Structure 1
């Protein structure tokens, strides 16, 4: 399916263009087993599958480079707090679009995780995901900067074989978490079929990415048609609109893509005091089936 990149209308010197958003289902399936990857511990399992959609201005993890604190915590202890903070900082800077987190079930070596109806904007077409191979010193699976766009088209389907990676932050060659820190810190590396590690050359899982739908949404290029203030805000945001622009509906989504507020009333002020502190995406539905998207920060 091709996205339309032509200008479709001119209103009061402001262009409208067709912005493409795609809906994907993403499935992780583990193939972690004793025949290929050494004798597994009795509590073998995976941490949550976590990551982000983002643009090319940021890379959250890269093979051959040192892990951030967030990736270190994911790989060593399956803790996502620091990585989540790194993604939220990137969202605040305009380089990421959303935080992704799904549980991997069951609590076992062979397990799955499914991310259904993940909405991806063409301005943030890159996908990064990671999950801890647990228990382990600092081993994980990961994909980084996977581009879901092929020129002006969305990728229809993609299957990625997953292999074990060492985050380069903790010593150890067995399935345990009680190890000394790697000093100095090393780089992220592929440890499939590497001497000393329990993995052979076979994959440890598969990530399948399938396109479900493409949404061609009219969006105003001139974002000054609507402004919101104060931003950040603790309780209320006020809406200023150009040329008596009519707002038909407003929707607010959290970074997980969950709808947390909706109104069909044309309001000049919205109460956000009930929302948790964080970053939200606000969609303003206006004339001609047009959407203006703004980010707001709740303090």
Structure 2
């Protein structure tokens, strides 16, 4: 099974990592069928588990992390999840050839007709060396015609046809938020793996990995879509910390999509402020230099190939391999 990692792996020197907390959704029970919300779709409300329907909430019993789901309507409310939809813990794989990345279960968000907010148990990383978080996720494709996109809008308006996925961490201690993945401002199709040779989108797991502060944190997933063919899948969520004496920190920066196929990449950081960007070709020639204020970097003028990308922000810096197809 192929999985795309959106940032370079951990920078390690003689160091291993232990899981502090996590879930691959193996402990919650699974039920077939769809979940039907019994609440009012016109107002924001907590989602509750229904008998013999997929679980949207889970209380930890000391093993895997617990989680709680909330529904928030569009600015102009729709039916939400009251019509019965594929959300919650499931053992139904994304496809017969694409299984889950850890175990036999995962979490699915499909045909929400509003906003779905999934909050996981808080994790205390105080005293943990080089803490970080890894999340596997998958964006569904148009299975009947993989050359066509599957999503709508750019996620900037709270309405039907403005699909959006955000994976982020609330730093409870410091009252900040750290993005691992945020499609807001982009067409989600631009962030789906794409094979330029066949001209088709790929049903493929992706991974986001980010270093975190040594504080109390909480993982949050926010999803918005409006069709049964639009699904976000989650699996293999791991909060980790370093074990050993010689180490370098987990990545400060996240780079995606990589390989890049749509003329841009997103570069997010644990901290705010402008990022100085330098890109070199394999011969060492500088081909791009800019000060990046936001997260989206235009690389549309660069040819297909492999590049070295250097990021500087304050006292932090990183060097990554960038592939443009």
Q: Same fold (TM over 0.5)?
A: no
Please identify which structure carries the higher helix content. Answer: 1
Larger Rg, first or second structure (1 or 2): 1
TM-score by structure 1 length? 0.29
TM-score by structure 2 length? 0.27
